[in-house]
């Protein structure tokens, strides 16, 4: 009888071992697929600006450098391409760090109102180019102290506001508002009256490299990583990100933050 029991246990153990091995192999396959897809996306993203830069430099070398009417313009465009490459590589670096959990948060209390104001200052010119008005719906006086990694939250706000400008309409508005919630939370909203997003595309927005309109978005630049970075940072803070959008009406991206204990 005990031999039968031992055999049964042994069979069970072997089964379990095989199952674990299968899971291990499946996980490796998924990881390998993921790596391949990531590499494919990365080279695709880098190719376009690289070829642009190469195109302008080759034209200059072929003689355009001696034509004062175009040489400056071509150099400027090549430089824009390099700037775009740097931007993409920075985003790639950030998403890699976030995905492998290599980015520690430097959490401390900070004033969210002041942070919104400094992001506005940095993006004023970008908004002005599209005649977009940046407004801050401020119900509250300074400060609203929250806890988090201010530098990372600045990146979240920057990415959301940059998107609202990129996908906003000419002469439109971007409004940031802050609301105090119960349970020691605040919610920060970034609202635009731009092109909006179709319902069916909303669930995929935060995937890395995902773009609703491939050609249209490419014209606007970016890496397709902005929202993936936003989601990672917000979730690393154990907070939530929401999106509501209606096509041709506009979009609202919002995220929560924890109020600092000292905050009134
Ligand atoms: P990208 O570099 O393409 O802007 P993101 O990850 O920041 O990448 O955004 C992914 C996609 O989500 C964009 O390509 C765009 O289609 C859509 N999107 C993001 N923000 C907005 C917005 N405020 N209004 C409309 N569409 C948006």
Kindly tell me if the per-residue pLDDT of 123 is higher than 50: yes
The answer to whether the CB of 194 is under 6 A from ligand 1 is: yes
Kindly tell me if the per-residue pLDDT of 262 is higher than 70: no
Look up the ipTM and state it.
Answer: 0.98
Q: 196, 251 in Cβ contact below 8 A?
A: yes
Query: What confidence tens digit (pLDDT) does each residue in 80-97 have?
Result: 999 989 989 999 999 988
Kindly tell me if the per-residue pLDDT of 142 is higher than 90: no
For residues 14-31, average pLDDT: 84
Question: Which of ligand 1's atoms lies nearest the C-alpha of 250?
Answer: 24
Q: 135, 175 in Cβ contact below 8 A?
A: yes
> The whole model's pTM is what?
0.83
Kindly tell me if the per-residue pLDDT of 41 is higher than 80: yes
For residues 11-20, average pLDDT: 89
Confidence of residue 67 (pLDDT cuts 50, 70, 90): very high
Average predicted confidence (pLDDT) for the chain: 90
Q: 80, 55 in Cβ contact below 8 A?
A: no
Kindly tell me if the per-residue pLDDT of 218 is higher than 70: no
Cα 211 to ligand 1 centroid, rounded to whole Å: 6
CA 237 – CA 258 distance, rounded (Å)? 9
**Greatest alpha-carbon span in the chain:** 97
Q: Positive or negative CA dihedral for 153, 41, 26, 202?
A: positive
For residues 117-123, average pLDDT: 95
Helix 112-129 vs helix 150-166: crossing angle, to nearest 10: 30
Query: What confidence tens digit (pLDDT) does each residue in 194-215 have?
Result: 999 999 999 999 998 888 877 6
Cα 103 to ligand 1 centroid, rounded to whole Å: 24
* pLDDT of 26: 81
* pLDDT of 20: 87
For residues 180-195, average pLDDT: 93
Kindly tell me if the per-residue pLDDT of 150 is higher than 60: yes
Joined together, the tokens standing for residue 50 give 């690289």
Cα 202 to ligand 1 centroid, rounded to whole Å: 10
Query: Among 173, 194, 213, 217, which residue has the most ligand 1 atoms within 8 Å of its CB, making it the best to mutate?
Result: 217
Provide, rounded to the nearest whole percent, the portion of the chain with pLDDT above 90.
Answer: 64
More confident residue, 246 or 182: 246
Kindly tell me if the per-residue pLDDT of 101 is higher than 60: yes
Distances (CA, A) of 120 to 101, 128, 154, 256: 29, 11, 11, 19
Confidence of residue 263 (pLDDT cuts 50, 70, 90): very low
Q: Positive or negative CA dihedral for 230, 232, 233, 234?
A: positive
More confident residue, 168 or 214: 168
Number of other residues whose CB lies within 10 A of the CB of residue 35: 10
In the numeric block, the tokens 């996980």 are attached to 27
Query: Each residue of 18-34: b (16+ CB within 10 Å) or e?
Result: eeeeeeeeeeeeeeeee
More confident residue, 177 or 41: 177
Beta-strand runs (E) in 66-132: 108-111
Kindly tell me if the per-residue pLDDT of 180 is higher than 80: yes
CA 189 – CA 32 distance, rounded (Å)? 37
* pLDDT of 216: 54
């Amino acid at each position: 009888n005990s031999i039968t029991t031992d055999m049964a246990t042994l069979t069970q153990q072997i089964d379990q071992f095989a199952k674990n091995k299968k899971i291990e192999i499946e996980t490796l396959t998924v990881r390998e697929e993921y790596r391949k897809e990531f590499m494919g996306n990365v080279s695709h993203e880098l190719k376009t600006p690289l070829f642009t830069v190469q195109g302008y430099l080759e034209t200059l070398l072929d003689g355009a450098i001696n034509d004062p009417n175009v040489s400056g313009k071509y150099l400027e465009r090549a430089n824009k391409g390099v700037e775009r490459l740097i931007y993409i590589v920075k985003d790639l670096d950030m998403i890699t760090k976030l995905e492998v959990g290599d980015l520690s948060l430097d959490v401390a209390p900070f004033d969210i109102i002041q942070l919104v104001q400094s992001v506005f200052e940095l993006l004023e010119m970008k908004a002005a180019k599209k005649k977009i008005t940046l407004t801050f719906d401020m119900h509250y006086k300074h400060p609203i102290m929250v806890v988090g990694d201010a530098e990372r939250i600045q990146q979240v706000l920057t990415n959301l506001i940059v998107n609202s400008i990129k996908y906003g309409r000419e002469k439109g508005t971007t409004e940031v508002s802050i609301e105090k919630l119960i349970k020691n939370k605040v919610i920060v909203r970034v609202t635009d009256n731009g092109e909006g997003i179709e319902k069916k595309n909303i669930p995929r927005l935060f995937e890395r490299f995902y773009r609703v309109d491939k050609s249209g978005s490419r014209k606007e630049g970016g890496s397709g990583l902005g929202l993936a970075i936003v989601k990672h940072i917000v979730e690393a803070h154990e907070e939530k990100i929401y999106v509501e959008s209606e096509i041709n009406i506009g979009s609202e991206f919002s995220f929560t933050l924890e109020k600092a204990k000292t905050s009134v």
